[in-house]
Each structure stands twice: as structure tokens, then as C-alpha cells.
Amino acid sequence: MGVAADAVLRLGMMLMGAGTSGYRVIRGMKRTARAMGFDYLDAVVGVTQITCTFHKGERFRTVASQQNHLAVDASRIEALENFTHNLDRKIDAAELNAELDRIESTVRRRWSRLILVCAAAVACAAFAVLNHFTLPEVALVAVAAGSGQWVRSVLASHHVHQLGGVVASGMVASLVFYLLAAGLVPLGFPGIGSLTAGYVAAVLFLVPGFPLFSAMIDLGRFDFDAGLARLAYALVVIFAATFSVALVSGATGLNPQPVAVPSGSIDPAWLALAAVASFLGIAGFAFLFNSSRRMVVVAASIGTVANTLRMLLLELDANGYFAAFCAGMVIGLIGAVAAKKADLPRVTTTVPAAVILIPGTSMFRAVYYLNAGNMNDALSNTATAAMTVLAISMGLVMSRMLTDRDWALGKLIDFDKQLVDGVPPRT
């Protein structure tokens, strides 16, 4: 019983370590525990630890495990969920461990450091386009973001603490943008001499969008153990990134003032450009999440539709939070269909698609103004960022309720359904 319990716990730790939500970790563990012959499983999932109790007849066994490595790996989530979803027969601990060994050995990082550097550059440059930065600033954002991602990748390969990597890469990206922009001032490039908000877009690759939305989805299910732990982790990373960048801006004079947005009627050319930028931005972040090509295309397509709708609503003078809610709802509804058609875990397509909606510039401006002692602007940007994230999350949660009966009814796994060879469980 102990060997079987440890094997199921190992699967849960691998799912949790890949960055998926607590709901998916628990369902995967319960499916596997049923296939292992257990009568029931109680599990409490955090962001670094899992505690669970296995029941078989009158016996029970409680096991716990903890790990310090936190990452997002969409490919590993896909491999583990494909395995647990297709458990149509009873298995033993040896077979489960063999399958987990296979996944660990074969599901590796898909993309090289160079590709990930380019992905971060493209993603942040896309954010710069969506925030109406000038073309020279977009180019500088791409170079600065790529430099920051390269530093983060090198430090991660040497097992430097994640917060250390976040702080170092954020500082490098900000400094690279400052030095390049300062060097272009004598050449008279428009928009560069003011050294405005471009550097904020250069550090948006540090925003932990995957754990942030996973946390909000878990909280929407009232899973406070998983949701609050993951939310706390995301907030710590955000604070470390924003505070380090704010210190650099204070020393260099970089000022994240918002770029003036042109007003008037809807510009089809701008919407077309923004749609392309949305697709490329989501694709860049999906690469950083170790997504497959199929995941990248599906997530980018869904997010482009949702973000274009959001921008149209804003052009029609809709409330920004309502527009964000609608975009989150569209991502969830389309993602439910697209993920099933593409045979992908839903979380690997909807969460990357929603990252483009995160108000990262407001997060960085909030800490900048806090560091400068400007409490009014700090509170305003904090409230804007928080309300926008909540609105997007509510859209994702509402769409999940409408498209996932088990999620809406709080139904996990029915252990009373006995496995029979050749007849898979339908839960």
C-alpha cells in the first residue's frame, strides 16, 4: 500500500511541478489511485507540496512530499494528462513508475535557449505595439527583452534561485533598454529622447501569467489551499520583478508614463496590426511555457480573437473591465471546443491565450510610483491591474462553468465505478 501511495504521489508532484492547477492535480491523482485499487483519496495541493491520504478498506495511509523547483511545462502537463485520462484498467506501482520514468526521460525542453530568447523578444515587442509605442521603441524592447531572457535562462541552467533570476533579468532588460535608447538620442529618433514607457514592455516576459490565472481558477472553485498558495507565489514573483525594475528606473531616470493613445473612429489598419501583434505575443509566451507547435497555434488563435474583441469593445467606449471579462469568456468558450478538437489539455491553450490580456504595464507603473512616493498614481495602477486580472479570471471561470459539467458541480472522480478490463471509466 505504501509503495502504491508513493507512486501516485509522485504523479501528483510531477503535475504540480509542471504548473497546472490544483484541480487537475487532484483529478489526475484520483484517477490513478482508482486504477491502483484504492477506495478513496483525500488530497491537499499547494504550490510546492502535496499531502494526501489513501483509503483501502479499513486501512489508510497518509503521505506528503515537497519540492522547491517551480516551473511551467505545458508539454509535461499534456503527457501526464493523456496518461491519466486513458487509464482504462487496473495497474500496479511498477507499471505506473515505469510510465512516469518514460515521461521524465522523453518529455524534455522542446526549445533551445536561442529560440526562447527570440520568443521573449517577440512577445514583449508585441506588447509594445499593442501599447502604441513607436517603431524604434518596439525594436529596443525586443533587444532588451531578449537580453533579459538570455540572463534568466543562463541563471536557471546554473540552478540560481528563481527570484534571483527574475531580479537579475529584469535589471538587465531595463539597463539594456536605457543604454540603447540613450545611444540613439543624438540620432534624433522620435520618441526615444523622452525615455518613456518602452522599458516597461521590455520586462513583461517576467510576469507569471500561467500561475496567476491557474490560481484564480482554483480560487473560483473554492480550492483555497491550491489557489492562495499559487497566488502568493505569483505575487512574490511580480513584486520582485517590479521592485527591481523600479529601482533601475529611479537610478537611470526612466519614466513609465503612459503613451498617448490616439482617439477617434475605429481604425481597421490598426486593428489588423494589433491582431497580428496579439498572435505573435501569445505565441512567444507559449514558447516560454514549453508548448508544442500545436499548442502555440491553438492558443495564439484563440487569444487573437479574444484580444481583438476586447480592443473593439474599448473602441466602442465599453468599460475596460467589462471588455476584459468578455475576452476571458471568449477564451474559455472557444478554448473548450478547440482543446477537445486538438486533443490538448484545456489549460495549455486557454491560459497562454489569456496572458496577452494581463495589464503588465500597470503592474510595473504601480511599483514605480510607489517607489517615487506618488501614492495616488500607485493606488490607481494597482487597482487597475487587480481589477483587470479579476475580470479576465471571472470570464475564464464563468466559461468553465458553462462548458465543464464536472467542474461546475464540484465532481471529481467517482471511486464507486470499478474498472473493468476493456471498459474505461466515464468521469
The DSSP secondary-structure symbol of 264 reads S
Distance from C-alpha of 41 to C-alpha of 415, rounded to nearest angstrom: 9
Of 106, 131, 163, the position where a domain reaches its end is: 106
What is the Cα Rg of the chain in Å? 22
Long-range contact set of residues 30-34: C-beta below 8 Å, sequence gap at least 24: 30/412, 30/413, 30/415, 31/84, 31/85, 31/87, 31/413, 31/425, 31/427, 32/8, 32/84, 32/87, 32/96, 33/8, 33/415, 34/87, 34/413, 34/415, 34/417, 34/419, 34/425
Number of structural domains the chain divides into: 2
pLDDT tens, residue order, the chain (427 aa)? 889 999 999 999 999 988 888 888 998 999 999 888 898 899 899 888 999 999 998 899 999 998 877 888 899 999 999 898 888 788 889 999 999 999 999 988 889 999 999 999 999 999 888 888 878 888 889 999 999 999 999 999 898 988 899 999 999 998 998 888 877 766 666 555 455 567 788 888 888 888 888 888 889 888 888 889 899 999 999 989 888 888 888 787 777 776 666 665 567 888 899 999 999 999 999 999 999 999 999 999 999 999 999 999 988 888 889 999 999 999 999 999 998 888 888 888 998 899 889 888 788 888 888 877 888 888 998 899 899 999 999 999 999 899 888 787 777 776 666 565 544 444 4
**Domain assignment of residue 98, yes or no:** yes
Same domain flag for 227 and 81: no
Q: Which domain holds residue 166?
A: 113-408
**Domain assignment of residue 417, yes or no:** no
Answer whether 333's CB lies under 8 Å from 402's CB. yes
What pTM was estimated for this model as a whole?
0.87
392: Cα separation from own chain's centroid: 13
373: left (phi over 0), alpha (psi -120 to 50) or beta: left
Distance from C-alpha of 190 to C-alpha of 181, rounded to nearest angstrom: 11
Which residue has cell 475580470? 391
**Domain assignment of residue 423, yes or no:** no
- What per-residue confidence (pLDDT) applies to 423? 44
**Domain assignment of residue 427, yes or no:** no
Same domain flag for 338 and 295: yes
- What per-residue confidence (pLDDT) applies to 180? 86
How many distinct helices (H) and strands (E) make up the chain? 17, 3
Distance from C-alpha of 184 to C-alpha of 206, rounded to nearest angstrom: 26
Q: Which three cell numbers stand for residue 109?
A: 525542453
Answer whether 208's CB lies under 8 Å from 360's CB. no
- What per-residue confidence (pLDDT) applies to 420? 55
Same domain flag for 336 and 294: yes
**Domain assignment of residue 416, yes or no:** no
Same domain flag for 101 and 166: no
Q: Which three cell numbers stand for residue 412?
A: 471529481
Same domain flag for 43 and 155: no
Alpha helix positions (H), 131-188 = 135-157, 162-184
Distance linking the first and last C-alpha atoms of the chain: 25
**Domain assignment of residue 425, yes or no:** no
Same domain flag for 49 and 134: no
Distance from C-alpha of 29 to C-alpha of 150, rounded to nearest angstrom: 36
Of 106, 140, 157, the position where a domain reaches its end is: 106
